[in-house]
């Protein structure tokens, strides 16, 4: 996609319910001509206003609202009485001045309130300078007459905070907002609605400052206060739900955002007309969400429906124009874009001036459009202007400022100015790594995944830039390598570190809560066997349980410094890894790079970064035909293996480019990505030459920097125990038994016993899910059974392997697993049992919860246990990922359906060699070579691969 910003910015809204607006029936418009009329009318008017204001102040608080842009304020028509009120006050003040009695109103409480109300009206009409002046007069008056504890004084300060935020003066906004919050808490207590308003405003301010973690905490606290105060049916509640939705939208949690927003709209519709401009603000947010979720028709329908109901010169209209333009680019309707964007910029400039985030966003969007159309001379000034405004208002480290820096860097790149592009891009990438360290700590794994989905395209754009820039600037290869190893397998490594820190913390309460969280995940695993309708019939709210489980994980984050420290990335560069290599070793870091021209296109290229001892920089190897590799060539490789045909073609497609840089090397550490997770590299054969397995010792790792742990790992195990799970009794049904797995397990047990290994066997009915889940950190875990992976279940109905396909569609961990004792029941028509977590099928989702900390190796002796959904930079989402996340240091798995007899022999040879050599990798390779002597085709000896330390 083009780099057009769709992030939500700040807008302010005051939404008192109708019952909260005071009656001013006694206030009549008057024409003040002389002093006698002043005396006659002013007392009654001001008394009435004072009385009404007292009632109004007890319930009316201004709530900041996040919208798709920093545009308009509350709908003035819904504040009609305020217009009349201010008009009367202004008439009175004017008359006093004309008759020489202005002093009478300058220093009293009523005049302070009058200025506050005048400020609100000016604010509502986007007359910010006048609003600021009135608020400051009101504040000074309250302070002069020593009424700094008055409700209206606190509201004045709060409104100043909202006004400063709208104007982009965030330092002043934070000072005023925090002061109002502290004073309201001190005066009214933590559960007061005024406190809720201030916390909401502070949450929105944190959002605009890029402090997403703090924003989420504040908004959660506001919801808690409102729930306690029974405020679920109010506009204020709808506003806060909306704000949560826009926060979730910014960090990629679109489904959660839509749920919040739908609820907000449902509340608002009961309180105001659907024709209300306020209602359009919620719809605008919903359109933005639809747009980002790929539901373009729904988004366009909302925008076009709004267009006729908005004025042609207000910021709400500008917001709609900007978002509609971005949508039209995505939809390929580019002829409509430029005019919409230019009109949006013009409206923002006239409404807010240039020093405003909304103006910066619209200017950035237009600049990016010109860059996309290769109109670089027009793009440059606009992108520079957006960067300048954002730097001034938001600061260097704000996400929007960093986005603008990247926009300018891309422009330099496309213009061929590599030097300026690299200088900016390095700052952008360093700050992006800091975003990960900042935002990850309180997030659950699901939330981290969604945020990484938002951030990862930036890394992909940088990789494209680095490939293009490398011929002119070889030192860019250092950055390419270092940023890749900083983020490769980021999510998996974060999960592993967190788990290790919790379990080794010694904090009993923390560990107990962690185990409770695992229990909650077990409950979810059982519930995933049902459709949502079936659960609804049983009055089980799956969404609520998922939210509660997610909340438990987040609270664990907040409570433990050790827990949060697990997310911090260590600063590792290519030299730290290079110094560990010997002369006969090399590391190959594969990167799948989605092609980016002026936008991402439906193609990819593959990069190999080859690092050897003594090299000045990593060597770069590029395959430009990534799409062919992933489709045509991968299919050919798999067919050749399955058909037992000689394959001298795949070597040239997947390996030959590496040969020059691997000359003289023996041990090659491979960090795969993309299609390389599906290829058994050892089975590739050079035309007229030999298999890779006979030329190199390959070591598969998740990230090149895993070499640090490998080199520091002890070569011998301190404990000797092995757990076997095999020959399950699947029960009556269509699952064929595997008697060969009993032979396999018995044979391996006899091999390990003389070496001092204590074996625990779970066979037939004991080869159950319950027993496997109870296993605690054995040295080796060997599982021999059926495995499965469902590549695509979208649109399918019913259940498969004990999981409802409705739930499995978006979760690869629910589409792969192992069959254990009693699995036939789950595969048949028998309804699942919510009281038991043993249905005979261990999904990858459940396998993540196993306690395998310190387990040296897991062997999955089953078909296709290495398959799953491939995610760029994160590997395979399936059993592979789950067992590594559970704590296994190394994993043996299969890439295709295996031959039973050949597998038995491979495993016997492997464990025999392991006892002799005391080295997993060497023992495994030797076992494959031994099997090759009997079975020449890779189908038999090449299916299994070893990954990890």
Predicted local distance difference test score (pLDDT) of residue 722: 93
Read off the pLDDT of residues 551-592 as tens digits, 9 standing for 90 and up: 888 777 666 554 455 445 557 888 999 999 999 999 999 999
pLDDT > 70? residue 115: yes
Nearest CA-CA partner of 882 in 783, 764, 760: 783
pLDDT confidence of residue 251 = 84
Structure tokens at 149: 């504890």
For 109-166, give the secondary structure using H, E and C: HHHHHHHHHHHHHHHHCCCHHHHHHHHHHHHHHHHHCCCCCCHHHHHHHHHHHHHHHH
pLDDT at 570: 57
Q: In this predicted model, what pLDDT tens digit does every residue of 163-178 receive, in sequence order?
A: 888 777 888 888 999 9
Model pLDDT for residues 217-244, shown as the tens digit of each residue: 899 999 999 999 898 998 889 989 999 9
Checking if the pLDDT of 85 tops 50, the result is: no
Choice between 110 and 40, residue whose per-residue pLDDT is larger: 110
For residue 503, what pLDDT is reported? 79
Confidence of residue 624 (pLDDT cuts 50, 70, 90): very high
Higher pLDDT, 223 or 493: 223
Instruction: Look at residue 18 and tell me whether its pLDDT is greater than 50.
Output: no
Question: For residue 833, what pLDDT is reported?
Answer: 58
Lowest mean pLDDT among 58-72, 143-157, 415-429, 795-809: 58-72
pTM beyond cutoff 0.85: no
Q: Cβ distance 879 to 787 under 8 Å?
A: yes
Confidence of residue 788 (pLDDT cuts 50, 70, 90): confident
* Residue 67 pLDDT: 66
115: nearest Cα among 74, 155, 149: 155
Task: Give the least confident one: 113-117, 428-432, 766-770.
Answer: 113-117
Mean pLDDT of 422-436: 91
> What is the DSSP annotation of 519-565?
HHHHHHHHHTTS-HHHHHHTT--HHHHHHHHHHHHHHHHHH-HHHHH
Q: Is the pLDDT of residue 104 over 80?
A: no
Q: For residues 830 and 833, what is the distance between their CA atoms, to the nearest angstrom?
A: 9
> Are the C-beta atoms of 387 and 400 separated by less than 8 Å?
no
What is the model's pLDDT at position 78? 41
**Angstrom distance (rounded) from CA 257 to CA 7:** 13
> Cα–Cα distance between 167 and 300 in angstroms, integer?
29
Q: For residue 881, what are the contacts with CB-CB under 8 A and spacing of at least 6?
A: 492, 813, 844, 848, 868, 874, 875
**H-run or E-run covering 860:** strand 857-861
pLDDT bucket at 356, cuts 50 / 70 / 90: confident
For residue 725, what are the CA distances in angstroms to 124, 454, 780?
70, 40, 11
Nearest to 878 by CA among 898, 856, 893, 897: 893
Q: Residue 288 — pLDDT band, cuts 50, 70, 90?
A: confident
CA gap 889, 714 in Å, rounded: 12
- The mean per-residue pLDDT over the stretch 21-45 comes to 41
Q: What's residue 7's pLDDT?
A: 27
pLDDT surpasses 60 at 856: yes
With CA atoms as reference, report the closest residue to 348 among 339, 338, 358, 340.
Answer: 358
Strands 816-819 and 841-843: antiparallel
Burial class (CB in 10 A: 0-12, 13-18, 19+), 352: buried
Q: Give per-residue pLDDT as tens, 683-738.
A: 999 988 899 999 999 999 988 988 888 888 766 666 889 999 999 998 877 888 88
pLDDT at 91: 53
Query: What pLDDT, on the 0 to 100 scale, is given for residue 68?
Result: 58
Token pair, residue 825, equals 């029941």
Judged by average pLDDT, the poorest of 206-220, 233-247, 500-514 is 500-514
Looking at 41-50, 152-161, 259-268, 478-487, which range is the least confident one?
41-50
Q: How many CB atoms sit inside 10 A of residue 461's CB?
A: 22
pLDDT for 79 equals 41
Confidence of residue 77 (pLDDT cuts 50, 70, 90): very low
Mean pLDDT within 788-808:
74
Distance CA 420, CA 472 (A): 13
Identify the pLDDT of residue 759.
92
Residues 430, 409: Cα–Cα separation, whole Å: 14
Selection from 698, 632, 729 nearest residue 944 by Cα: 698
Q: What pLDDT is stored for residue 546 in this prediction?
A: 81
pLDDT at 830: 55
375-408 pLDDT, tens digit per residue, is 999 999 999 999 999 998 888 888 889 999 999 9
C-beta of residue 911 within 8 angstroms of C-beta of residue 933 = no
Grade residue 279 by pLDDT with cuts at 50, 70 and 90.
confident
Residue in 26, 136, 130 with CA at minimum distance from that of residue 88: 26
**Average pLDDT rounded to a whole number, residues 599-628:** 94
């Amino acid at each position: 996609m083009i780099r057009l910003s769709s992030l939500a910015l700040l807008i302010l809204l005051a939404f008192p319910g109708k019952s909260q607006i005071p009656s001013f029936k006694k206030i009549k418009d008057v024409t003040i001509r002389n002093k006698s009329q002043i005396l006659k009318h002013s007392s009654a008017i001001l008394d009435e206003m004072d009385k009404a204001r007292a009632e109004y102040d007890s319930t009316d608080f201004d709530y900041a609202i996040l919208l798709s842009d920093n545009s308009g304020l509350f709908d003035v028509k819904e504040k009609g009485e305020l217009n009349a009120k201010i008009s009367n006050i202004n008439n009175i003040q004017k008359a006093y001045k004309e008759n020489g009695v202005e002093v009478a109103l300058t220093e009293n409480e009523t005049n302070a309130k009058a200025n506050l109300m005048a400020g609100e009206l000016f604010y509502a009409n986007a007359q910010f300078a006048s609003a600021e002046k009135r608020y400051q007069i009101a504040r000074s008056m309250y302070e002069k007459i020593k009424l700094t504890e008055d409700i209206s004084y606190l509201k004045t300060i709060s409104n100043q905070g909202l006004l400063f935020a709208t104007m982009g003066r965030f330092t002043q906004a934070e000072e005023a907002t925090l002061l109002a919050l502290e004073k309201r808490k001190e005066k009214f207590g933590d559960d007061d609605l005024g406190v809720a308003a201030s916390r909401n405003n502070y949450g929105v301010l944190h959002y605009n400052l890029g402090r997403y973690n703090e924003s989420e905490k504040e908004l959660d606290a506001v919801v808690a206060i409102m729930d306690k105060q029974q405020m679920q049916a109010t506009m204020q509640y709808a506003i806060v739900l909306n704000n949560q939705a826009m926060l979730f939208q910014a960090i990629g949690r679109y489904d959660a955002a839509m749920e919040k927003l739908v609820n907000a709209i449902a509340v608002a519709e009961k309180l105001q007309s659907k024709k209300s401009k306020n209602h359009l603000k919620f719809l605008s947010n919903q359109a933005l969400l639809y747009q980002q979720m790929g539901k373009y028709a729904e988004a366009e329908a909302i925008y076009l429906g709004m267009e006729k109901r908005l004025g042609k010169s207000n910021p709400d209209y500008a917001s709609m124009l900007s978002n509609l333009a971005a949508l039209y680019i995505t939809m390929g309707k580019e002829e409509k874009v430029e005019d919409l964007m230019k009109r949006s910029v013009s409206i923002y400039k006239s409404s807010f001036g240039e020093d405003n985030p909304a103006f910066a966003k619209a200017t950035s969007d237009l600049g990016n459009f010109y860059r996309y159309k290769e109109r670089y001379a027009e793009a440059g000034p606009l992108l520079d202007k957006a960067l300048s405004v954002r730097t001034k208002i938001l600061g260097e480290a704000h996400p929007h400022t960093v986005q603008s820096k990247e926009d300018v860097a891309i422009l330099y790149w496309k213009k061929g100015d590599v030097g300026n592009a690299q200088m900016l891009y390095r700052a952008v990438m360093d700050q992006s790594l800091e975003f990960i360290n900042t935002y990850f700590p309180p997030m659950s794994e699901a939330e981290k995944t969604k945020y990484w989905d938002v951030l990862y395209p930036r890394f992909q754009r940088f990789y494209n830039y680095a490939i293009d820039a490398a011929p002119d600037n070889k030192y860019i290869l250092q950055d390419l390598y270092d940023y890749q190893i900083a983020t490769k397998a980021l999510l998996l490594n974060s999960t592993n570190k967190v788990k290790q820190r919790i379990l080794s913390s010694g904090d009993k309460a923390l560990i107990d809560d962690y185990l409770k969280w695992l229990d909650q995940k077990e409950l979810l695993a059982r519930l995933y066997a049902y459709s949502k309708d079936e659960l609804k019939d049983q009055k089980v709210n799956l969404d609520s349980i998922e939210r509660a489980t997610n909340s438990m994980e987040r609270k664990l984050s907040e409570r433990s410094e050790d827990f949060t420290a697990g997310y911090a990335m260590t600063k590792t560069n290519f030299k730290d890894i290079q110094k560990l290599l010997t002369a006969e070793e090399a590391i190959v870091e594969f990167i799948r790079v989605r092609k980016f021209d002026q936008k991402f296109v439906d193609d990819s290229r593959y990069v190999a970064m080859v690092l050897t001892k003594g090299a000045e920089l990593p060597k770069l190897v590029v395959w430009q035909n990534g799409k062919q590799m992933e489709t045509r060539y991968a299919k050919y490789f798999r067919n050749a293996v399955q058909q037992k045909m000689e394959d001298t073609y795949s070597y040239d497609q997947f390996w030959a480019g590496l040969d020059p840089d691997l000359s003289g090397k023996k041990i090659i550490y491979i960090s795969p990505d993309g299609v390389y997770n599906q290829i058994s590299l050892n089975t590739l054969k050079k035309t007229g030459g030999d298999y890779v397995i006979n030329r190199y010792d390959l070591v598969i790792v998740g990230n090149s920097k895993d070499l640090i742990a490998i080199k520091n790992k002890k070569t011998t195990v301190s404990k000797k125990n092995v757990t076997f799970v095999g020959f399950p009794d699947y029960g009556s049904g269509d699952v064929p038994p595997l008697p060969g797995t009993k032979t396999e397990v018995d044979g391996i047990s006899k091999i390990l016993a003389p070496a001092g290994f204590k074996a625990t066997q779970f066979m037939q009915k004991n080869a159950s899910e319950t027993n496997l889940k109870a296993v605690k950190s054995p040295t080796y875990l060997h599982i021999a059974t059926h495995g499965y992976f469902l590549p695509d279940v979208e649109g399918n109905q019913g259940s498969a392997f004990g999981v409802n396909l409705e739930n499995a569609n978006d979760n690869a961990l629910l589409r792969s697993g192992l069959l254990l004792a009693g699995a036939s029941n789950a595969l048949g028509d028998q309804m699942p049992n919510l009281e038991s977590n043993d249905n005979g099928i261990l999904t990858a989702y459940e396998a993540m919860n196993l306690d395998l900390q310190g387990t040296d190796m897991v062997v999955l002796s089953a078909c296709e246990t290495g398959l799953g959904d491939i995610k760029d930079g994160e590997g395979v989402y399936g059993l592979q990922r789950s067992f590594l996340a559970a704590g296994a240091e190394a994993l043996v798995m299969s890439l295709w359906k295996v031959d039973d007899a050949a597998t038995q022999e491979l495993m016997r040879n492997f464990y025999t060699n392991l006892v002799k050599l005391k080295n997993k990798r060497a023992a495994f390779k030797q076992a494959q070579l031994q099997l090759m002597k009997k079975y020449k085709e890779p189908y038999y000896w090449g299916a299994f691969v070893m990954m990890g330390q």
